[in-house]
Chain A
């Protein structure tokens, strides 16, 4: 008990020099104080917590963390889009970003956003978070120092993809580990549309902890596509949250692709608050080395006539491990709900592990809900068939693995993401095939 208390105290001490934003704003100060009080009570989660049973945080907790106060790291990648915001170690890098401000659409960083009184962020900040939050979420509220804000006024559409790039680096001092807390807000008023691609990257081999939360508030008939593509360093810790609130007839798609990071944890939670809402959740995990990826999703059907559709696929090689927990809750009176959830796991190596917990919690009777989960390996018959056609075993297995992943990739509408993933997972063979065709 005492060790845990000491640990939490030391965590707070490591945050004493945290570079928080918006200190002059009274509402934000209150929110932060509240979150801090909550953290002091709960502390960081451990494997004794049911929601963290399969994810051991010992390695994460053993590091000594420090904040980085901005960095001069340059981004080499060319932007895919005209609007791109870059965050280095959680700090907004304006010189590398191209902001967007057009009729009714504001895309800016957290600090500007909070100061801009016309956006009324105090009504939205932390409004999507559940009452029961784990320690990383409360820490994020208490210490977030960067992130993006997207505000769509009623009836507007973003002309191009909004790209958000998060880059993290290691500390210069080896004894310290870099930590950053970012908070992103997407507020879409009625009849709006936009596509957001959030990329998380880091120099390979660097150690850091990135704790990031995205809040999405979708108004009536808003259509929002959110991509989260995580390609962090293979030694990095990534703790993420995407929290979505949907009004009537809002359609949100949350795509969650986990490729990098040593330890990744994502909490994706959606509340369907208005009739006719639809949420699509897609997830793809490609684990290698000693990667550990833990995805927790929750869809709350609170009103009638909503639908949800969820597909999570995990490919696990080497010593990697995936944890999936998906919960669908259908509240009392949320009749005529249609909910489907699938989780498929492909184990490629003898040392990989898959844990799956698909859950249904249903309090209404006129509903159609189903979930399915499978764990298996590549079908030996299909492998044999391909080999009998002259394809070597390695390529055959790559091809079948790609086919497995492609069921999720196919569901992604953003072409640039689809292409990237095809290249990454399809491997060399697919290129050869494409040349032939």
Chain B
């Protein structure tokens, strides 16, 4: 960690020149793609299903979800402001044209590879040394999946969900929407109706996934919404660590992203899900940017299971995201570690839900919010202990750091306890960077920027150390870049 810190400090020497730096990932890849005209009705849902050659049960599932969605109302309780989204002005499907079946890297469209290279994704051979299997989702269709063979030797299934529908329909049928029902909320219903792709992971009984799995999401086409769907199942005593990273090109209009992620952990299984979200946040006047409305939920189905969410949210104009854990099995454990940063006109309303149902369940919530510029950062969380959840334990800590006098930090925790043997603690603090700390670091020779960066990294350390190594370094850099110009 110390090494990483000095590294970061060194890099920051050049930060001043970079202050006016623009969104690094804001390029558009010119690839011919197959995009549906904007608009949404039953025909569009049928067309999506048809284009993907889906079996009948999927079409039924989508139509059911679509009909539910039509009857639902857009939620407005979150602490965010945005113009009303016109759901008819969005295209619900976009795929790179003429998808060939690929055997090796050479067959991938070089322009695509270039895109990933610009993003620094370990898809190339040299990067394979990093031992990361990548299921890259380019707009909506998975382009290729690396390492699939190694994984299948271990019995792990890691493939785009659109393929899983064909190859493992029984698993998809059994688990899809078993954690997030289609009618769960407005965006989940929309996603269920029109989702185009995403990842499917199945870890069989007793298997420890030999490598960290990773997906990379990128929104490329104009006016498209990205609706990906992720489903991860860990059977008895299995273990998997899954990483997710997101970027989008820079555009003046707002783009919608509504994903659903479902995790299922059977007895003794453990799932670790890490996200670094760096969607385009819009410019300093709040123009453009991604609207990120995501439903993520994990179910600790069996006894002694564990689900852990770690997220670093630096991008998106609007973030609406509450990764949750339902602690159904006895002795199950839920964790939530989050760093959310909102700069310029970004708004983040994020947090978690921990629903304690089984006996001796425990959950930990560590949330670090950083607001700068005109950013608004809200932590919203629910810890619920049901009647039968004897000896439930929860610890929540929500800290906010304010930089500048025009930003906001808000904390809205909900605690609902129906069992007297529960022990719950919630604490929250809000403060700014102390002048003393800054002064101390600066008199040791650090520039103001470097000092702030070091303090912010220290503030987030509890969360970063939960991230896999490569991600932790990336997250730190991302935080520095996102905070550029915030100190003045």
Contacts and interface: CB of A to CB of B under 8 A. Distances in A.
Interface of A: 50, 54, 332-333, 335, 345, 347-350, 352-377
Contacts of B385: 375
Given A357-B413, A367-B430, A370-B429, A332 B420 contact: no
B419 interface: yes
Contacts of A375: 385, 415, 417, 422-424
Contact of A360 (B409, B419, B421, B424): B409
Complex A-B, nearest 5 residue pairs according to Cβ-Cβ distance, in ascending order = A347-B420, A365-B402, A356-B415, A360-B411, A375-B424
Interface in B381-436: 385, 400, 402-432
A290 to B, nearest CB: 15
A220 to B, nearest CB: 27
Nearest to B372: A365
Given A353-B418, A357-B412, A357-B414, A332 B406 contact: yes
Contact of A347 (B409, B410, B414, B417): B417
Kindly name the residue among A332, A349, A365 whose own CB sees the greatest number of chain B CB atoms within 10 A.
Answer: A365
B428 A370 contact: yes
A345 B430 contact: no
A347 B425 CA distance: 14
Contacts of B428: 358, 360, 370-372
B77 interface: yes
Contact of B430 (A333, A349, A355, A360): A360
For the residues of B in contact with A, the DSSP-based class is: strand
29 contacts: A347-B419, A347-B420, A348-B420, A353-B417, A354-B416, A355-B414, A355-B415, A355-B417, A356-B426, A357-B415, A358-B411, A359-B410, A361-B408, A361-B411, A362-B400, A362-B408, A365-B405, A366-B405, A366-B432, A367-B432, A370-B428, A371-B426, A372-B426, A373-B415, A373-B425, A375-B415, A375-B424, A376-B423, A377-B423
B430 A354 contact: no
Given A362-B410, A372-B428, 13 more contacts: A354-B416, A355-B415, A357-B413, A357-B415, A359-B413, A360-B400, A361-B411, A362-B400, A362-B408, A366-B432, A369-B429, A372-B426, A376-B423
Given A372-B426, A374-B425, A365 B404 contact: yes
A348 B424 CA distance: 15
Interface string B23-41: 0000000000000000000
A374 B430 contact: no
Nearest to B77: A50
A79 B338 CA distance: 57
A15 to B, nearest CB: 32
A354 B409 contact: no
B427 A370 contact: yes
Kindly name the residue among A349, A360, A361, A372 whose own CB sees the greatest number of chain B CB atoms within 10 A.
Answer: A360
B419 A350 contact: yes
B348 to A, nearest CB: 14
For the residues of A in contact with B, the DSSP-based class is: strand
Nearest to A337: B430
Nearest to B380: A359
Interface of B: 77, 79, 385, 400, 402-432
A50 B79 CA distance: 13
Nearest to A366: B432
B139 to A, nearest CB: 37
A280 to B, nearest CB: 20
Nearest to A347: B420
Contacts of A354: 415-417
Contacts of B408: 361-363
A299 to B, nearest CB: 14
A371 B174 CA distance: 43
B403 A365 contact: yes
Contacts of A361: 79, 408, 410-411
A82 B123 CA distance: 85
Nearest to B426: A373
Contact of A355 (B403, B405, B416): B416
A375 B383 CA distance: 11
Contacts of B425: 372-374
A371 B411 contact: yes
B2 to A, nearest CB: 29
Nearest to B433: A365
A318 to B, nearest CB: 11
B413 A362 contact: no
Contacts of A50: 77
Nearest to B411: A360
A354 B432 CA distance: 32
Contacts of A347: 417, 419-420, 422
Nearest to A376: B423
A355 B410 CA distance: 19
B422 A333 contact: no
Given A365-B404, A371-B428, A360 B410 contact: yes
A360 to B, nearest CB: 4
Contacts of A376: 422-424
A43 to B, nearest CB: 20
Contacts of B415: 354-357, 373, 375
Contacts of B429: 369-370
Contacts of A374: 424-426
Given A360-B411, A362-B400, A333 B405 contact: yes
Contacts of A353: 416-418
Contacts of B417: 345, 347, 353-355, 375
Contacts of B418: 353
Nearest to A360: B411
A371 B429 CA distance: 7
B157 to A, nearest CB: 41
A54 B400 CA distance: 28
Contacts of A368: 430-431
Nearest to A368: B431
Contacts of B410: 359-362
Kindly name the residue among A333, A361, A377 whose own CB sees the greatest number of chain B CB atoms within 10 A.
Answer: A361
Nearest to B403: A365
A362 B402 CA distance: 9
A50 B380 CA distance: 14
B409 A362 contact: yes
B369 to A, nearest CB: 10
A236 to B, nearest CB: 25
Given A373-B415, A373-B426, A352 B431 contact: no
Contacts of B409: 360, 362
Contacts of A373: 413, 415, 424-426
Nearest to B421: A377
B430 A369 contact: yes
B420 A349 contact: yes
A365 to B, nearest CB: 4
A376 B394 CA distance: 11
A282 B320 CA distance: 35
Contacts of A370: 427-430
A362 B403 CA distance: 12
Contacts of A364: 402, 405
Kindly name the residue among A354, A358, A362, A366 whose own CB sees the greatest number of chain B CB atoms within 10 A.
Answer: A362
Given A371-B411, A377-B421, A358 B426 contact: yes
Nearest to A370: B429
A364 B422 CA distance: 35
A359 B411 contact: yes
B357 to A, nearest CB: 16
Contacts of A350: 419-420
B313 to A, nearest CB: 19
